[in-house]
Chain A
Amino acid sequence: MKAKHKRSIFILFIMTFVSIGAYILLTNLRDNLVFFYSPSEILTKIPKADQKIRVGGMVDSNSLERRIIEDSEKKYEEISFTISDLLEIKYFGILPDLFREGQGVVAEGFFDLEDRVFNATNVLAKHDENYMPPEIEKTLDRKGIEK
């Protein structure tokens, strides 16, 4: 009887431990998932303003602009470009080495619905000559564009 009692307490203890762990893990996972949108999806399935998302597409040629913005302390460079089809992306910082117009790019950040601008916190470009991020490949496949 006593051994049985002991064992059930032990099992109860393990169960609580595991379920707390699973709860922490899953809520954390839910909060930190970053969904991928294509530029057209972003206007139909509008993400919340505080939800971090990724968008991907081809950088339109001749759309890259750099402006210098000055605040009281420092100067910043604001970079903006559009990806197909015409989603404007704004970014402060250094673009990745492989960023080129006419090539695939994935931007991570927040969508501003009022200005219809995507404020990127991070811009990822493909990593070598032959590599295309699978998300972009799929978006292009869906549209039937030749790669």
Chain B
Amino acid sequence: MIAEYGLIFLILSMLLSALQFLLPLCQRLAFPEGTKKIIFSVERNSELIFYTTLVSYCCLVYCFVVSDFSLEITSQNSNSQLPLLYKVTGVWGNHEGSILLWLLVMTFFGFLFSKHNLKNDLLKTNTLIVHALLCFLISCFIFFTSNPFERIFPPSIEGKDLNPLLQDPGLAIHPPVLYIGYVGCSVVYSLAIAFLFSKDSSKEFIKTLKPWVFLSWSFLTLGIGLGSWWAYYELGWGGFWFWDPVENASLLPWLTSTALLHTIIVSERKKKLLSWSISLSIITFCLSLLGTFLVRSGVLTSVHAFANDPSRGVFILCLLVFISGAGGILLYKNLHKYSDQNNIHLLSREGAISLNNIFMLTITGTVLLGTIYPLFTDAFFEKKISVGAPFFNATISPLVIPMVLGMILGPLMKWGRDDLKQIFFRLRPIIFINFLLMLLVWYLAYRGPVIAIIFIALAIWLAASSLFEIYQLVLINLKKKKSFVIPLKTVSQGLAHFGIAILIIGATGTSILKKENIQFQEVGETISTSGYEVKFMGVSKEIGTNYKSDYAKFELYKNGEFVSVLNPEKRIYNFGKQVTTEAAIHSTLLGDIYISIGDNNSGLWTTRIWFNPYTIWIWLGVLFMFIGGLISLKRSFKELK
């Protein structure tokens, strides 16, 4: 019965959102000259939409928790033996539930937005109306193509179990975090469209837009980071990024929202690039929808696609065409309003930001091309191809170098117009010389691939200059006000740039400098790699809550001294008999020892032992970026009040 209540509340939420954009529309059609005031409270209604969706979502969670296997979704994705945590996270471990979660977050953001205290009433009302339209479209999508409350007859006695790869704390929190990021983009989109309708100054629009951009950017960053972390330790392939379509899909909106993050600062301070900011707001949401389309429709070969259904793909594609089309046309019609003097001098802060924006967009285009190119050749030439990781690595790494240089130089430049001489003066020659020296020393001592050395040297330079920037600002503040107040804006920028720097170090180590050993190992045999000795101690059978496992034991020594015991596993789950590989990782700041085991052949085991230098820096970098984003978020929310 609970499931039916869930469906009723879902329909209610759908009707309420329809009401929210239809009523004002009718009013405006009927009284074109009439008052702008809308008869009913859009704010109150946004609240109601959120509550009804929440109730509907809770009903679904309840069905999972009590293991009601008369629902299709629970019987496919849950099991009575499953630990409670995975019963709850199983709600979004499948297509239907995860889209309902999407709607929940979306309505919640509508609710949050309705609590904003804006001077410009029309902007707020319009935003809520556009947002309700988006909510309505998504709830239609749920109701017509992926209803989570579908019953099956006869009801199953036992569920088929949640995909074992998803039974993991990392993946449990990854989808909600990523969705906060994706859905945050929807508010940004609604705001941009509402602004195009209104005829007001940009000041309040940018002010309102800022916290939402920071919110979605921070959570996208964290979500992508969590997904990558999960892929690293759970898939057992030893890498952190595989240029899989699903990963690319989440990267695309991240890239454009990073660009947006920077342009709105220009729009705010210099009243320039406003039309560009609006375009980016629209593009970002379209790309997050495109990502959903790519993942859900099954048009691409992906290592982690859900089981899928073509009608869903068609629906999302129509949605995408509608949303991007509407945004594009509106922007085009209103473009003349914002065509102010967009003169930007290259040697200035806004010049550096624009240049970085161009690089960001180039990377976005490249990733997009590589991701959807296989679709085109399949549709038009009947050729099945795939674009491999080498393409992305080869085209994107050269773009990273000027971007990092821009990140080093940009914050040094002044707004408006700067002078080349002064920039060189401020370039802090010591760091530059250090940079050259380091390159030399590294090459002499290490002799790794040159590209890796360049990346690491650049990253260290960036890290140093971001830290120095923070230090300098604190110092200036200390002198001026004689108090220890940290200027939040530059700290957040410095932290995020510092995060990028150490992320580049980690990514370079893990992808270019890693060492892989694949071999057949006897019990008692020792393999040496990068200063470590790995001794294989044998494999025992263990029984877990809902799986059996081959539990291997390795002893790790460094220079003859015992370090720790590592236990990679191979699990066979009781239901579905699916096998998963659990890698064992020993992390240090200098690198990870990463072991996974393969098959057994007459007492010998295939083992894969990696040494991944600096991998931990990737996760630390993501964390720094997230913290930087949160600081900006907090500050921009304060400004709004």
Contacts and interface: CB of A to CB of B under 8 A. Distances in A.
Interface string B196-236: 00000000000000000000000000000000000000001
B520 A76 contact: yes
B342 interface: no
A54 B374 CA distance: 13
B518 A129 contact: no
A29 B598 contact: no
Nearest to A25: B395
B170 interface: no
Given A74-B520, A95-B599, A98-B579, A25 B366 contact: yes
Interface string A1-44: 00000000000000000000100110011011111100000000
Interface string A77-94: 100000000000000111
A75 B604 contact: yes
Contacts of B395: 24-25, 28
Contact of A94 (B307, B385, B386, B606): B606
Interface centre among B299, B301, B578 (most CB of A within 10 A): B301
Interface string B276-313: 00000000000000000000001111111111000000
B519 interface: yes
A128 B391 contact: no
A50 B303 CA distance: 25
B362 A135 contact: no
A68 B601 contact: yes
B388 A34 contact: yes
A127 interface: yes
Contacts of A77: 520, 598-599, 601, 604, 606
Contacts of A28: 391, 394-395
A47 to B, nearest CB: 12
Interface string B377-404: 0000001111110110011001000000
A68 B604 contact: yes
Contacts of B579: 97-98
Contacts of A94: 518, 581, 596, 598-599, 606, 608
A48 interface: no
A127 B394 contact: no
A74 B395 CA distance: 36
Contacts of A25: 366, 369, 395
Contact of B518 (A76, A95, A106, A128): A76
A66 B599 contact: yes
A135 B599 CA distance: 27
A54 B373 contact: no
Nearest to B302: A127
Contacts of A35: 383-385
Contact of A29 (B362, B370, B570): B370
Contacts, number: 110
B303 A54 contact: no
A29 B305 contact: no
Interface residues of A, number: 36
A138 B384 contact: yes
A34 B298 contact: no
B373 A29 contact: yes
B328 interface: no
Given A94-B608, A95-B599, A32 B388 contact: yes
A34 B303 contact: no
A134 interface: yes
B536 to A, nearest CB: 12
A127 B520 contact: no
A68 to B, nearest CB: 6
B387 A54 contact: no
Nearest to A135: B384
Contacts of B373: 29
Interface string B516-527: 001111000000
Contacts of A24: 395, 398
B156 interface: no
A130 interface: yes
B623 to A, nearest CB: 28
Given A92-B518, A97-B578, A29 B387 contact: yes
B574 interface: no
B303 A29 contact: no
B163 interface: yes
Nearest to B308: A131
A140 interface: no
Interface in B508-546: 518-521
B576 interface: yes
Contacts of B390: 31-32
Interface of A: 21, 24-25, 28-29, 31-36, 52, 54, 66, 68, 74-77, 92-95, 97-98, 106, 124, 127-131, 133-135, 138
Q: Kindly list the 4 A-B residue pairs having the minimum CB-CB distance in the complex, ordered from nearest.
A: A36-B384, A94-B598, A32-B391, A75-B520
Given A75-B519, A133-B301, 13 more contacts: A25-B369, A31-B390, A34-B385, A36-B383, A75-B521, A76-B519, A77-B606, A93-B598, A94-B596, A128-B165, A128-B578, A129-B576, A134-B301
11 contacts: A28-B391, A32-B387, A32-B391, A54-B384, A68-B604, A93-B598, A93-B606, A127-B165, A127-B304, A130-B307, A134-B301
